[in-house]
Amino acid sequence: MIDSNSVQEYYIPIKNGQFSDKIHFYNGEGKYSVHVMLPATDRENYYYDLSTFEVVNVNPIKQRDLTYTPFAQEAQLTLDTIKSGFMSGKELITVGGTIKEQTSSKNIMIEVKKDSNQWKHEISIKNGKFSYEVPLFYGKGIHQINVLVPDQQRENYYQYGTTLFVDNQSDRTMKPIEYYRTYEERGITLNTPQFGGDQAKLTYHIKGQIDPNAKFAKETTHIYVKTKKGNDEALDIIPVKHFNFDDSIYLRFGPGEYEVSINVPEIKEEKSNYFRYFSVASFSVENMANEDKRDLLPSRGIPSDDPKIINLSQFHNCSF
């Protein structure tokens, strides 16, 4: 369970010189030390002890409240999908809610921790709302999830908004997706996959969308997906329709682990005789199919599922 030495902080608004709130003892029965602190008038974000006392809780029920920092309260952060600061989950947990629209940032940040492992990812805010399936990457046990809100004084900085703990019931260990700067710059949101290290048989599903207001969004008509296994590489093209992409790629080089990168094309005002693309995200996937079909499956420049090629093949087979 949660470390009995951990601390839970409550930030209670003062109205007309008075404050009041109800707190729960997050680790069940036992002795708790309670510190009541007042904000300093001479130092920013600093608190002085007002009173300290101990409480012996005789109730064995463990109930951790979901609390919000002053930064979260100022940003009007509310998690609609989370009702408790401690809960059970399995592999994924939905973190969603509302926040006041910010001029400095269109994102919040999610941070996942377990032991020495840590992962961060920015989540888009749309019309004051956000939602994300957060992977519990690090197997069975307690994962700490921090939700950070934009710092209103500094661009591209975040402040802690709230913290929750999720007891993952699954033994499965997942690998985080690596996101690059271009992911944010080009307004990409990758819905599928949500984590790396997944398993598939021959094909793998890629799905996401592009923010219509992002740079070069209208000009981005295709997503390029590169798969690599050892020295073998392939490039698949997924069309973008109405700022959405949704298709499957082939894992054509037989069983084993593949490195997959999602890429967007370079957009230039003038035509040129060379083509470049930029990575927005990368992850690994394991192909469980035994067949090596590199010479049989459709590929860029060799669409073997094209009717003309199929008819030509049938013609030659009939001539023998």
- 172-205 pLDDT, tens per residue? 999 999 999 999 899 999 999 999 999 999 999 9
Which position has the token pair 């087979």? 317
User: How far is residue 25's CA from residue 34's CA, in Å, rounded to a whole number?
Assistant: 10
127, 146, 242 from 12: Cα distances, Å = 28, 20, 46
Residue 311 scores a pLDDT above 70: no
Residue 169 scores a pLDDT above 70: yes
Pairing relationship of beta strands 203-210 and 244-250 according to DSSP bridges: antiparallel
User: With contact defined as beta carbons under 8 Å apart, do 183 and 209 qualify?
Assistant: no
User: How far is residue 99's CA from residue 77's CA, in Å, rounded to a whole number?
Assistant: 4
User: How far is residue 216's CA from residue 50's CA, in Å, rounded to a whole number?
Assistant: 55
What is residue 8's predicted lDDT score, i.e. its pLDDT?
Answer: 86
What is residue 319's predicted lDDT score, i.e. its pLDDT?
Answer: 47
Average pLDDT over residues 137-158: 91
Lowest mean pLDDT among 118-122, 143-147, 206-210, 295-299: 295-299
Beta partners for residue 49, in sequence order: 37
Q: What confidence category does residue 1 fall into, taking pLDDT thresholds of 50, 70 and 90?
A: very low
**Which pair of structure tokens corresponds to residue 238?**
């997924």
What is residue 191's predicted lDDT score, i.e. its pLDDT?
Answer: 92
State the amino acid at position 223 in one-letter form.
I
User: How far is residue 302's CA from residue 299's CA, in Å, rounded to a whole number?
Assistant: 5
How far from each other are the two terminal CA atoms of the chain, in whole angstroms?
A: 72
State the amino acid at position 154 in one-letter form.
R
What is residue 93's predicted lDDT score, i.e. its pLDDT?
Answer: 95
Q: Is the pLDDT higher at 154 or at 116?
A: 116
**Which pair of structure tokens corresponds to residue 173?**
């260990």
- 113-137 pLDDT, tens per residue? 999 999 999 998 888 999 999 999 9
- 34-63 pLDDT, tens per residue? 999 998 988 888 899 889 999 999 999 888
